[in-house]
Amino acid sequence: MDEKKPVDIPPPPRAVPDEVRQQLKRSVLVPRLFGAIWLSVGLVMLVIFLLVSHPLVDERIRRDHKRAVGIVSRVERVGERNPYRVEYTFTADDGAQYPGRSFTGKRPALKPNDEVTVQYVPGRPQWSRIEGMHYGVLPPTLHLLPLFFIISGGLIWFTGVAKLGRLRRLYAHGVVTTGTVVGEKWHKLVRLNTGFRSPSRFLYELRYRFTDAFGRERDAGHRTYAVADSLHFAAGDTITVLFDRANPARSMAADMLNIESAAASHR
């Protein structure tokens, strides 16, 4: 077997070269990219929902309202999947008559000239709705959907950023030891396109075994995105491993990073 020579790496603390930074960024690109996309989608959805609907008005009416008798003037539905729109007029406590409209997802059993109970905000009668319906086109509970995208996307993005920070600290301060390759795998179905002219990168996983500072043998893995077949290790190959002394479960295979030139600059 043609055994690979382990990477020579200087003792800590080490500077993180630009090439290594880029490779570490690629290794956690998916959660950062996926989280950023979900976060962006959630923000766009929230802006659109706020423009076409008025959840704060519905909440204001729910918290503080008076009741009046209204007369239905029109019941219509624009489009098959849109909510029903009910227009009406009512007389507020100031004696003036005000127009209003409410929305509901179910077909209302109403027709023109029917009487309905109207809820309106004292001092702002233009904010009103038929009891049991909502003021905005969208029900207030639907605004939880963009919030779900924003929160989950933010958490996923933060997880990727935090992992990137741990990898950088691991490279800069990790304990150097040798490990033995257990196996490798190319996940050809997991593809990452970084540009129109750049070749596609696939998920590569290297499994290895090493002994930590406490003499315990550990099995670990290192994943990264690389050009197809650009990395290859055979079972039994000796590699350089960096691990966290405080948490040896965190480790990386230095041989998967282009750090030979960085190591030479430390000599």
The per-residue pLDDT for 105 is: 85
- Alpha-carbon distance of 31 to 156, in angstroms, equals 6
Distance CA 60, CA 54 (A): 10
| Angle at alpha carbon of residue 182, lines to 192 and 166, rounded to 5° | 55
pLDDT at 6: 52
Instruction: Spell 212-237 as b/e; 16+ CB within 10 A means b.
Output: beeeeebebebbbbbeeeebebeeeb
pLDDT at 261: 36
Where b means 16+ CB within 10 Å and e means fewer, 64-96 reads: ebeebebebeebeeeeeeebbbbebebebeeee
Q: Which residues of the chain have pLDDT under 70?
A: 1-8, 194-196, 258-267
Q: What pLDDT does 8 receive? A: 66
Q: What is the dihedral of CA 148, 150, 151, 152, to 10 degrees?
A: 80
Residue 79 per-residue DSSP state: S
Query: What per-residue confidence (pLDDT) applies to 196?
Result: 67
- Those residues whose C-beta lies under 8 Å from the C-beta of residue 179, and which sit 6 or more positions away, are 208, 209, 210, 220, 238, 239, 240, 241, 253
DSSP type of residue 132: T
pLDDT for 265 equals 33
Sketch the domain layout of the chain as residue ranges: 54-137, 174-266
Residue type, 149: F
d(CA 103, CA 125): 17
CATH 2.40.50 fits 54-137, yes or no: yes
What is the C-alpha to C-alpha distance for residues 55 and 136, in angstroms, rounded to an integer?
7
- Tell me the backbone φ, ψ of residue 66, rounded to 5 degrees: -115, 165
What pLDDT shows up at residue 117? 95
Q: What is the pLDDT of residue 41?
A: 94
